[in-house]
Amino acid sequence: MCSIAHAAGQEIMAVYGQDGAVWQKDDTSPLTEADLRADAVIRKGLEAAFPGVFVLSEESRSAGDAAADAFFLVDPLDGTKEFLKRNGEFTVNIALVQQGVPIAGVVFAPALGELYYAALGLGGWVQIADSAPQTLQVAAWQPTEPMRVIGSRSHGGDKLAAWLATLSCQHSFVAAGSSLKFCRIAQGQADIYPRFGPTSQWDTAAAHCVLVAAGGAVLDLAGSPLQYGLQRPLLNPEFVAVGDNVVLAVGIMSKTQCEKQT
């Protein structure tokens, strides 16, 4: 899966420095030549390495049984807006899901040279460029320290601002693109990522696996882990990704307060 993500990243970077074609999807989100080239490489690679396993990608899907218990979730270019802004904060996301749970995940940021990968029960790692892989571990949060909130560069808006206003502790906020927000928590560089805007299953599954392997969690606002499946809605519910369970309690409480105020 890591090798396939690398190959997709090469296709993306071949387009990155050029003025490639850009289209608009039915939901008004952008689609680039890089999305399609990366998707083709990933589908070919997965079908060769894992014959018969269903692949659901943002840009395509396998023919055949869409009720499979185990399948791949793929976003060939997560953060297309970041790609178009040329800020480097876009990723290739590949997740293997079984019985609703991401059991293996790869997140590759080709412009940054950052590779994150994990598997259920095996752990999670990050490799920067050609350096040796490092084990991922979330950071414990101390209530006496500011909570490090990370959020989207392109989504969130009023809901996120209202949520931040309800926090009962000191906090800092930094924006990041794509699934890198999960990865920054897995690295211990952030504490919480509240998501109130729409996301799809392929946006979160790979990084969800990475964060859980590092000791974190991705939960809906009722406190249940996000679930994935071919028979489930493609859009995720609102969620909170955290490194420390203490942060989760503060995050859900703040969301409840926010709803009461609005």
Are 103 and 35 within 8 A, CB to CB? Answer: no
Are 25 and 131 within 8 A, CB to CB? Answer: no
CA distance 166 to 13: 41
Q: Is 58 annotated as belonging to a binding site?
A: yes
Neighbours of 2 (CB within 10 A): 14
Q: Please, how many CA atoms are within 13 Å of residue 241, restricted to the half-sphere of its CB?
A: 29
The residues pairing with 104 across neighbouring beta strands, listed in sequence order, are: 96, 119
Q: Is 211 annotated as belonging to a binding site?
A: no
Q: At a CB cut-off of 8 Å and minimum separation 6, what does 134 contact?
A: 125, 126, 127, 128
Q: Is 35 annotated as belonging to a binding site?
A: no
CA distance 176 to 82: 9
Neighbours of 245 (CB within 10 A): 13
Q: Is 82 annotated as belonging to a binding site?
A: no
Q: Which pair of structure tokens corresponds to residue 133?
A: 């892989």
Q: Is 81 left (phi over 0), alpha (psi -120 to 50) or beta?
A: alpha
Q: Is 123 annotated as belonging to a binding site?
A: no
Q: Is 112 annotated as belonging to a binding site?
A: no
What is the secondary structure of 17-47 as a DSSP string? TS---EEE-TTS-EEEHHHHHHHHHHHHHHH
Q: Is 79 annotated as belonging to a binding site?
A: yes
Place of tokens 């876009």: 90
The annotated binding site for substrate is made up of 58, 77-80, 203
Write out the binding residues: 58, 75, 77-80, 203
Q: Residue ranges for the binding site for Mg(2+)?
A: 58, 75, 77-78, 203
